[in-house]
C-alpha cells in the first residue's frame, strides 16, 4: 500500500475531509488530494505534520502489521501419519509454532496411539469427537469417550491411545510456555 492510500485511510478513519486535513496541516486541499492519489510525495517534515494531524507518527505509520490469517481450511492443515503407531495428526492451524496454542485433530486406528510427550510447561485439553481414548499421564491412565473432554497440566510424560474397538478421534489442544 502506498503512502497516499495509507494517509487517505487514516484521514477517513479520523472522520476528516481533505479540506479539514489541509487546514489542520496548513496545506492546500489540492496538495492533500495529490498526496492521497500518489501524484506527489510530501517532504519528510510535511509528512510529519500530516501524520501529527492524523494522530500518529512516522514510526507507527511505517510499522506495517501483516494481516493475520483468521480462517483455515483443510488445504492449510499440516498432516503427519504415523503408520507404526496407527495414528494421524492434523495441525489445523498451520502457524501453531509461533502461537502458544496448538490445536490438533488426532485420529486413531484400533490399538493406535500418539507419541509419548515429555513434560513441559503449559496445559493440555482434549475433546473426544468419536470413539473412546485413554489419556496416559505418567503411570496412570484415564478413559474418555465421545462427548467427554480432558484437561491436565503436562508435568509428567503423556500420550493418548485408542481404548476401543473402533476408530477414535480427538480435538487436542496443547499450550506451551515459552
**pLDDT tens-digit map of 113-150:** 999 999 988 999 999 999 999 999 999 999 999 999 99
Report the 10 Å Cβ neighbour count for 8: 20
DSSP 8-state secondary structure symbol assigned to residue 78: E
Higher pLDDT, 102 or 134: 134
Question: Mean pLDDT of all residues in the chain?
Answer: 91
Examine the pLDDT at 95 and tell me if it is beyond 70.
Answer: no
Q: What is the pLDDT of residue 98?
A: 64
User: Which grid cell is 171?
Assistant: 480435538
Q: Identify the three-state secondary structure at position 152.
A: strand
Predicted confidence band at 100 (pLDDT cuts at 50, 70, 90)? confident
User: How far apart (Å, rounded) are the C-alpha atoms in residues 145 and 128?
Assistant: 6
Domains, the chain, in order of start with CATH, read 3-62 (1.10.260.40), 78-176 (2.60.120.10)
Q: What is the pLDDT of residue 178?
A: 52
User: How far apart (Å, rounded) are the C-alpha atoms in residues 35 and 11?
Assistant: 12
Average pLDDT over residues 158-169: 96
Average pLDDT over residues 97-106: 82
Predicted confidence band at 161 (pLDDT cuts at 50, 70, 90)? very high
Predicted confidence band at 13 (pLDDT cuts at 50, 70, 90)? confident
User: Which grid cell is 42?
Assistant: 510530501
How many residues can be counted in the chain?
A: 178
Amino acid at each position: 500500500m502506498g503512502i497516499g492510500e495509507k494517509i487517505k485511510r487514516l484521514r477517513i478513519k479520523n472522520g476528516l475531509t481533505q479540506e479539514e486535513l489541509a487546514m489542520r496541516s496548513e496545506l492546500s486541499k489540492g496538495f492533500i488530494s495529490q498526496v492521497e492519489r500518489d501524484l506527489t510525495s510530501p517532504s519528510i517534515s510535511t509528512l510529519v505534520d500530516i501524520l501529527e494531524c492524523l494522530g500518529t507518527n512516522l514510526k507507527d505509520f511505517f510499522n506495517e502489521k501483516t494481516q493475520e490469517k483468521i480462517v483455515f481450511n483443510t488445504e492449510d492443515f499440516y498432516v503427519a501419519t504415523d503408520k507404526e503407531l496407527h495414528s494421524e495428526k492434523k495441525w489445523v492451524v498451520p502457524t501453531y509454532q509461533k502461537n502458544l496454542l496448538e490445536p490438533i485433530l488426532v485420529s486413531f486406528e484400533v490399538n493406535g496411539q500418539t507419541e509419548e510427550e515429555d513434560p513441559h510447561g503449559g496445559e493440555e485439553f482434549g475433546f473426544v469427537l468419536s470413539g473412546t481414548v485413554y489419556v496416559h499421564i505418567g503411570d496412570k491412565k484415564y478413559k474418555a469417550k465421545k462427548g467427554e473432554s480432558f484437561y491436565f497440566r503436562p508435568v509428567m510424560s503423556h500420550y493418548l491411545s485408542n481404548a476401543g474397538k473402533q476408530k477414535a478421534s480427538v480435538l487436542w489442544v496443547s499450550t506451551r510456555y515459552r
